Amino acid sequence: MSTTAATEFSPSFSIKDFLQQEREKDLLRFSTAGSVDDGKSTLIGRLLYDTQSVYEDQVRSIEGKGTTAPGQIDFALLTDGLRAEREQGITIDVAYRYFSTARRKFIIADTPGHEQYTRNMATGASTADAAVVLIDASKGVLIQSRRHAYIASLLRVKHVIVAVNKMDLIGYDQAAFRAIEADFSNVLDQIAADTGNPVERVFVPVSALKGDNIVHRAACTTRTMDWYSGPSLLELLESLPSSVDTRNAPFRFPVQRVLRPDHTFRGFAGQIASGTIRKGDEITALPSGRSAKVERIVTWDGDLNEAVAPLSVTLVLDRELDISRGDLIVAAQAPATVTKALKAGIVWMDQRPLELHRRYLLKHTSQTVPVFLGAVEYRTDLGTLHHDSARTLHMNDIGAVALNLLRPIAVDVYGENRSTGAFILVDPETNGTVAAGMIRAAEKVPAKGEAFFADVWGPMTAGEREARWGHRGGVLELRGSKEIADAIERSLFAGGAASIRIHADDDAFLMHPMLLEITTSLAVESGLIALVVREGEPDVATARVEGKQITVPEESATNEGDVGDAGGSSGAGRVSKVVVAVHQLLYDTGVFISPEKAGL
């Protein structure tokens, strides 16, 4: 082992005392952020190397490799471990690294700068206490720097260190550094005003390749930046406040599993998300609203009188409550909000754009709930930080949305609790994560005793059906080919609409004309979209809703332009054109509830 990673043992060295000192050190989690090629991985590699946190064989394994000049070490290879990362010279996945100094312990999340991998940056910053935002001194503030700073602010990262890197490329020019400092300070002020999360920021000029101001102050070593008298990057990291102590926050305990090994024991296992729990404390199980007292706090090492976040424990209550995985056990004096309607800021991560009224899955703590997006309130223009009206979000867009859940869950606002205020959205068709969300507001519903159950089991209303499905009842009369009818029915299904298909040419309806009217009326009263299909000419599709009719020639999309738009298939282009026209008709006639009319 190299002396860079070895500990020198003296005769008086005590391993017990050493381990005790390590346990007493506080922990700081921080992530890197910034645009591609700003030098994030190089900076982290240099930080590990200069703090003697790498082994000699690791250093030898990267000598002569990478993109640096002969005789120099490519420090980025210490963190970029994937073959694709080393071949392309970029960071793709989040790399977590641990190191410690005499003053504290650190966990680093080295995140990618490419726009394509923005989701990985959000993952790394979601648990960070601080962010190190890198800016290339030769390029200035780029759009990806703005995007990463905005995401960090959304994720309630309180401390930002702005490392203006590659100062050696601009001759350690003080004026250029001050210009970047003024520009990005203005950006951070605008972001804070938009997200409501002011950050404490500090700027430091560095050269990750040369090691200037990374661990040691350049003014004291190379004297390349005599005009900068501030601390180095490591000194700043060591001086930041430690991780937020959640032990005094309201108690939150998402249930992960119900343990019942025999008829004498029933406990609820999970990890304490925040707060402290003691024997005898009164708790409330949400969303049911039932209460009990804690009888035992069980762990592998025996029962505890008190447990704090983030311990994993099993709670045994003094009376039987119907509690399942996904329920939230909270302090009775400080309950969470039980809701079926949320407003949240989200980062869209999927290549497929957001679709209003399409059903997604919302993963929150230990439960998964069906949900649909009722409205896009705005999309943030990262160039100007203005809020633009939008009906959808594309990959890497950041915006605010309204969500309606199919069953109630217990949540907190993200600014108050990062664990119970965060969620992800999952595409049920692909099981892929499409968005990360931070709850900004939640509409409270009754959550205690019979009032709650009366709300659940009471009579259904037309408004509830509209909120659930995103549409009111209506009749869509369609005349065209079977291919078109199949496509429209499937498009309604994919969008989460509740519909029923009725073949008007069926003998029963021809023999009893009133039967068709009765059937469609019952469907409309139930909030369904009645798709009344009649066979028609193969080259024309006609649709009518509440007296408004459209006619779309089915062959009109077979020209070259439409073929390209539809993915190279004339059939796909023809079908797609009719489906879009029919959906627009449903919006125009008010069957589909527009975001503006929904009031979400």
Residue 8 lies in a domain: no
Task: Give the DSSP H or E segment for 28.
Answer: strand 27-34
pLDDT at residue 396, rounded to an integer? 86
Q: Is the pLDDT of residue 43 over 50?
A: yes
Q: End of a domain among 382, 417, 451? A: 451
- The answer to whether residues 30 and 178 belong to one domain is yes
- The answer to whether residues 354 and 437 belong to one domain is yes
Q: How many domains, the chain?
A: 4
Q: 377: domain range?
A: 337-451
pLDDT at residue 214, rounded to an integer? 92
Q: Is the pLDDT of residue 600 over 60?
A: no
pLDDT, tens only, 460-517: 777 777 767 778 899 999 988 888 899 899 888 877 788 999 999 888 888 888 999 9
Cα 69 to Cα 53: distance, rounded to the nearest angstrom: 23
Cα 386 to Cα 379: distance, rounded to the nearest angstrom: 8
pLDDT at residue 539, rounded to an integer? 73
Q: Is the pLDDT of residue 67 over 80?
A: no
- The answer to whether residues 506 and 397 belong to one domain is no
- The answer to whether residues 25 and 62 belong to one domain is yes
Show the 3-state SS of 327-388.
Answer: CEEEECCCCCEEEEEEEEEEEECCCCCCCCCCEEEEEECCEEEEEEEEEEEEEECCCCCCEE
Computed over every residue of the chain, the mean pLDDT equals 83
pLDDT at residue 452, rounded to an integer? 45
Q: End of a domain among 211, 239, 267? A: 239
Residue 512 lies in a domain: yes
Query: Average pLDDT, stretch 102-121?
Result: 78
- The answer to whether residues 122 and 232 belong to one domain is yes
pLDDT, tens only, 264-316: 899 999 999 999 999 999 999 999 899 999 999 999 989 999 999 889 999 99
- The answer to whether residues 531 and 545 belong to one domain is yes
- The answer to whether residues 324 and 343 belong to one domain is no
pLDDT at residue 7, rounded to an integer? 47
Contacts (Cβ under 8 Å, ≥6 apart) of 350: 395, 427, 432, 433, 434, 435
pLDDT, tens only, 430-444: 999 999 999 999 988
Percent residues over pLDDT 70 in the chain: 85
pLDDT band at residue 176 using 50, 70 and 90 as cut-offs: very high
The enclosing domain of 409 has a CATH number of 2.40.30.10
Residue 59 lies in a domain: yes
- The answer to whether residues 173 and 55 belong to one domain is yes
- The answer to whether residues 84 and 198 belong to one domain is yes
